[in-house]
Structure 1
Amino acid sequence: MSLHRNKRVRWSWISPGFGGGIWGGIVCARLLSWTQLNDLEIVLLLALFVITPLALPFVFSQQAGPLFSKWTALVVFLQPLAAILGGAAFFLPTGPLAATFASVWGGFTGLLALLSLVQFCQMLRKKHCPSLAELCLAGALLYLPAGGAWMMLACWGLQPLGFGVHTDLLTAVHFHVIPLTALVITGLTGQALHNNLVTCRGVYWMAYRTAAFGVLINPLLVAAGLTAAQITGLPDLDTTPADLLALSLLLLALLGLRFVVPTTVSRFAQMFMALSYLTVFFTMLVAGAYALGVATGAWTFTIAQMIAIHGLENALLFGCGGLLGWRLRTKQRSSGGEECAC
C-alpha cells in the first residue's frame, strides 16, 4: 500500500469525522435556540457534512487510471470546503447571496456526477454489461445535481411550478439522501450477495434484483410524481413512488439481515449494519401508514412528524449508520489482504 493511498484512507475517515463535529455543533446550536434552522435543513446539512464523505470512497473505484484517481482524490479532499460554503447558505437570509453560497455545493455535485459518468464510461469500455450493483453505485452520484439544484432554489426562495420552499427543501433532501444512502447500500449489499454461493443465483438473487431496480429508478419516479401531483392535484401520483421505495428497501433489508450481517466479522460493523437495516422496517412502515392515511382521509402523521421520523431517522440511522457499518466491514476485509476502496 503506497503512501499516497495511506493518505487517502486516512482522509476518508478524517473528513466524515470533521463533518460530524460541525453537524453536531449545528444541532447543539439549534437545541439552544442559537439558530432557527428547521428539520429539513438539519437533514440536508447531515447529507453535506457526513453522508457524502462516508459514501464517496465506495463510489470511486481504486482500479481506475492514475489521472482519474488524482482527480477523485482532489475532489474528495475538497469536499469539506464545498460543504462548509454550501452549508453557510442556510445561515443567510433567503436570496441571491444565500443562493450564491449554495451554488458552490451545487457545482460540486455537478463535478461529482461528471466524474461518476466518466468512471461509468470507463467501466463500459472494460466490460459489456455492468452489474446491477455497479449501476446502483454509479447512479448514487448521477442524481446528486438534482439535489444541488433544488437546494439553490430553496436558498434563493424561488418556487417553480408553484412549489413552496418546504417542497424545494424536501426535494433537495430526497435527491441527496436516497442516492447517497439507499443506492450505495443497495449496491454494496448486491456485491456481498453476489459473492455468496447461496444468494448469487435463484430466488434470492431475483429478489435482490427486484429491490435494486426499484431503488435505482425511484428518484426519477419521485421527481415525475411530485411534478405531476403539483400540476394535476392528484396526491396518489406523489405517494406511489414512495410506496415503491418502501417495498424495495424492506426487501433489501430482509436480504441484508439474513445473508450480509451474519457474514460480517467485525462486531461493530454488524451492529451498525443491523441497526441500519432494522431502521428501514420502522421508517417504511411509518411511510406506509402516512400514505394510507392520506389516501383514505383517516388520521395520519403530520408532515413535521414524517420529517422527524422518516427523514432524520432514515438519514442518521439507516444512512450514516449503514455507511459506517459498511466502512468498518470493508476495513476488516482490507486488513485481510483484499482491496478496499476506503
Structure 2
Amino acid sequence: MTVLVGWILALGMVVVVPLGLRLIDDDRQLLGPVGQVWPFAGALGALSLLLDRGDAFAIVLACCYAAVTAWLAALAALRLLRRRSLAPIEIAVLTAMVAPAVAASSLIAERGGWELLGFGMTTQLLTVAHFHYAGFAAALAAGLTASRAPSPPASIAAVTVPVGIALVFLGYFTGDGVELAGAVVLTAGMWLLAWVSWRDIGSSARGRATRALFAVSAAVLVATMLLALSWAAGHVFDAVPHLSLTWMAATHGLANALGFAVCGLLAWRRIQRSGDTPATKLMSG
C-alpha cells in the first residue's frame, strides 16, 4: 500500500497542483511565480518519499516542498485581505490554496517519523493525500464550477466540499462519528459537484475529448465517494461492509487521483485554452 500511496502523492505534488494553479487566472500575477516553482518543489517532495523514513535528507526535501506550500497559503491570506469576501466561490478557492500546506505539514512529520498530534505514520500519509486531492483538486473544481455555471446547487457544492473536508479532518481528533458526518457532507458535496459540472459544463463543452474528460471525472466521483462513505460508516457501524485500507488506496485513492483530479483538471484546462475561461467570474466572485 505504501508504494501505491507514494505514487499517488507524487502525482498530486508534481502534476495536480501545478495544473490546478494555472486555472486561477484572476490571480495570475501573484500565482505565476509560485506556479513556476511548484513542479520543482513537488519533485523534491516526491523524492523525499523514496528515502527512508527518518533520513535527514528526506526531511530537508519535505521542508523545501512545505516552504512553497506556505508561500501559496500566504497568497491565500493576501487574497482574502484584498477581496474581503467569503462568497462560496472564494471559500472553495481559498480552501484549495491552503490545503497543500496542511498536507506538507503531515509530509514533514511522516518523513521524520514523528507522530504529529498523536497521528501514526499511515494516518499522516493519508492526510497528505486527502489534502492534495479533496482539499486542493475537489475544492478548486467546486470553485471553478460555481464560477463558470453560477447556480444554487453550484454554490452549495462550493461550500459543502470545503466543510466536508474540514469535518473529516476534525474527525481525526474527535472520533469516528464526526469523521462519518464529514464523509456524509463531503460525499453530498462531491456528488453535487459531479452532477452540476457535467450537466452545466461538461455536456455542452466544445470537443469530444473535453466532454469525455468531464464525464469520466463525474462518474469516478460517484463511485469513489460511495466507497469513502462505506469506509467511514464501517468504522461506526459494524454491520456496514467496507474495504481494507490497502484496497481503499487501490480503488478510491487511485481512481480519484487519475479519474477525478487529473481528468477533471485537464478538462478545465482545455476550456481555458479554448478562450472560454472561468477567470472573469472568479475575479468577480
Cα deviation, 1:154-176, whole Å, max 9, x if unaligned, reads 10011134321000101111112
Give the equivalent residue in structure 2 for 1:29: none
1:224 aligns with 2:170: yes
Displacement of 1:332: 1.4
Cα deviation, 1:194-220, whole Å, max 9, x if unaligned, reads 2xxxxx4xxxx1x33332211122232
Displacement of 1:334: 4.6
Displacement of 1:138: 2.4
SS in structure 2 of the partner of residue 134 of structure 1:
helix
User: Which letter maps to 2:6?
Assistant: E
User: Which letter maps to 1:92?
Assistant: L
**CA spacing shift, 1:258–1:334, aligned 2, 3 Å:** closer
SS in structure 2 of the partner of residue 61 of structure 1:
helix
Q: Distance in 1 between matches of 2:280 and 2:198?
A: 24
Give the equivalent residue in structure 1 for 2:230: 289
Segment drifting more, 325-334 vs 184-193:
325-334
Give the equivalent residue in structure 1 for 2:258: 316
RMSD of aligned alpha carbons? 2.2
1:305 aligns with 2:226: no
Q: Distance in 1 between matches of 2:205 and 2:86?
A: 25
Q: Distance in 2 between matches of 1:139 and 1:161?
A: 21
SS in structure 2 of the partner of residue 58 of structure 1:
coil
State the percentage of identical aligned residues. Answer: 26
Could you tell me which runs of 5 or more consecutive residues in structure 2 were left unpaired when the two chains were aligned. none
User: Between Structure 1 and Structure 2, how many residues are aligned?
Assistant: 279
TM-score by length of 2: 0.90
1:94 aligns with 2:35: no
User: Which letter maps to 1:264?
Assistant: A
Contact 2:167 2:178 in 1 (8 A): no
Q: Larger RCO: Structure 1 or Structure 2 (Cα < 8 Å, ≥ 6 residues apart)?
A: 2
Give the equivalent residue in structure 2 for 1:58: 23
Larger of the two Rg values belongs to structure: 1
TM-score by length of 1: 0.76
Superposition pairs of residues 138-287 of structure 1, within 5 angstroms? 138-194=94-150, 200=151, 205=152, 207-229=153-175, 235-287=176-228
**CA spacing shift, 1:162–1:120, aligned 2, 3 Å:** closer
User: Which letter maps to 2:177?
Assistant: D
Q: Distance in 2 between matches of 1:105 and 1:209?
A: 32
**CA spacing shift, 1:214–1:85, aligned 2, 3 Å:** same
Could you tell me which runs of 5 or more consecutive residues in structure 1 were left unpaired when the two chains were aligned. 1-35, 195-199, 230-234
Cα deviation, 1:78-116, whole Å, max 9, x if unaligned, reads 112211222211111111331111000011100011122
Contact 2:48 2:59 in 1 (8 A): yes
Displacement of 1:131: 3.3
Q: Distance in 1 between matches of 2:31 and 2:203?
A: 33
Displacement of 1:260: 1.6
Q: Distance in 1 between matches of 2:119 and 2:212?
A: 40
Segment drifting more, 160-169 vs 140-149:
160-169
**CA spacing shift, 1:265–1:85, aligned 2, 3 Å:** same
